[in-house]
Amino acid sequence: MNNTPRVLNRILIGILGLKLLVIGLLLVTLATVPAAGPWWQHWSAGVWSGMSQLFQHTGVPGREESWLWAVLALLLVGVIAAMVAWVAQQGKGRSGLIVAEDDAGDFPGNVRIGGGVAEQALRAALAERQDLAGATVATYEIRGEPALKIRLQPRHGVAPHLLAADVSALVEALDAVVGKRTPVLIHISAGARSRFSRAERAR
């Protein structure tokens, strides 16, 4: 529901997982296959020698340093900037407003209702239910419009369709209060907390 780049995240996780798999297989091979040790030493020595010659032939005129170090430093800065931009995209899409409209009546002005109002009202109503092991409410912005995401963890044996109907009624009551119909995503999931908790009887 938010603007997190899920496809990019899956690609990066896949690349990282593949690299870790290759490194793990290489370490297992070096530890279990006797012929792999000499081969690795010979290969790594050749790579190190080639890198040393490359840096020697790319020296700055009049100096011993190679200009490749500057290129590597720029690449490192680019990688760091890309990582910062990637982290900034995680969880993006949260909104601080549930209502943001202009009033063009007798007294023109702007109407702003914070998303925290809806979140606290729904959390307070859901906290009183004995059939829930947990509930979270968050406000997001979808295509320029505010929307609510309600995540519920029902206790064992609770009917999901009845729970969804009750929460929908709460949302309709909230819409009547704020004066605007808000799109809502109700996500019902069963986690470990739901499976191992028992529904308490109301006295």
What integer is the mean pLDDT of 66-76? 85
Q: 118: buried, middle or exposed (CB in 10 Å: 19+, 13-18, 0-12)?
A: buried
Question: What mean pLDDT is reported for the chain?
Answer: 78
Question: Tokens for 96?
Answer: 């601080």
Label each residue of the chain as H, E or C: CCCCCHHHHHHHHHHHHHHHHHHHHHHHHHHHCCCHHHHHHHHHHHHHHHHHHHHHCCECCCCCCECHHHHHHHHHHHHHHHHHHHHHHCCCCECCEEEEEEECCCCCEEEEEEHHHHHHHHHHHHHCCCCEEEEEEEEEEECCEEEEEEEEEECCCCCHHHHHHHHHHHHHHHHHHHCCCCCEEEEECCCHHHHCCCCCCCC
Residue 65 pLDDT > 60: yes
Query: Please, which pLDDT band fits residue 93 given cuts at 50, 70 and 90?
Result: low
* pLDDT bracket for residue 75 (50, 70, 90): very high
30-53: pLDDT as tens digits: 889 888 888 888 888 888 888 888
Question: How many whole angstroms separate alpha carbon 12 and alpha carbon 18?
Answer: 10
Q: How far apart are CA 158 and CA 130, in angstroms?
A: 10
Q: In the prediction, which pLDDT does 24 show?
A: 92
**Model pLDDT for residues 140-175, shown as the tens digit of each residue:** 877 777 888 888 888 888 888 888 888 888 888 888
Give the pLDDT band (50/70/90) at residue 199. Answer: very low
Residue-wise pLDDT tens digits, 5-27: 677 778 888 999 999 999 999 99
Domains located in the chain, CATH noted: 6-89 (no CATH), 97-195 (3.30.70.1350)
Contact (Cβ atoms closer than 8 angstroms) between residue 155 and residue 194: yes
